[in-house]
């Protein structure tokens, strides 16, 4: 995935993209993860880079209660 890798990408977005590339994630998987970040950011009401482990767990519980698929919940 090359979108968002230019100088206009936020440091957090750039790091996420680099980490996914190192893990050899498929481009479509990377796109799905990037699309999910705004939902995560809105849920606890603060920047994703400030999210705590408990925030992430509550977000996963929220997704499960909203009917998210097991595949969605397994995302790292």
- pLDDT above 50: residue 4: no
CA distance 63 to 70: 10
29 burial class (0-12, 13-18, 19+ CB within 10 angstroms)? Answer: middle
DSSP letter string, the chain: --TT-STTS-HHHHHHHHHHHHTT--HHHHHHHHHHHHHHHHTTTS-GGG--HHHHHHHHHHHHHTT--HHHHH--
What is the tens place of the pLDDT at every residue in 7-19? 567 787 888 899 9
Quick: pLDDT tens for 33-71. Answer: 888 878 877 888 777 778 888 988 898 899 899 998 887
C-alpha span between 34 and 62 (Å, rounded): 19
- pTM for the structure as a whole: 0.60
């Amino acid at each position: 995935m090359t979108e968002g890798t230019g100088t206009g990408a936020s440091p957090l977005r750039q790091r996420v993209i680099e980490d996914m590339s190192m893990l050899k994630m498929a481009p479509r998987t990377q796109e799905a993860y990037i699309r999910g970040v705004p939902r995560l950011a809105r849920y606890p009401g603060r920047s994703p880079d400030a999210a705590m482990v408990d925030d992430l767990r509550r977000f996963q519980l929220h997704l499960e209660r909203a009917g998210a698929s097991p595949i969605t919940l397994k995302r790292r």
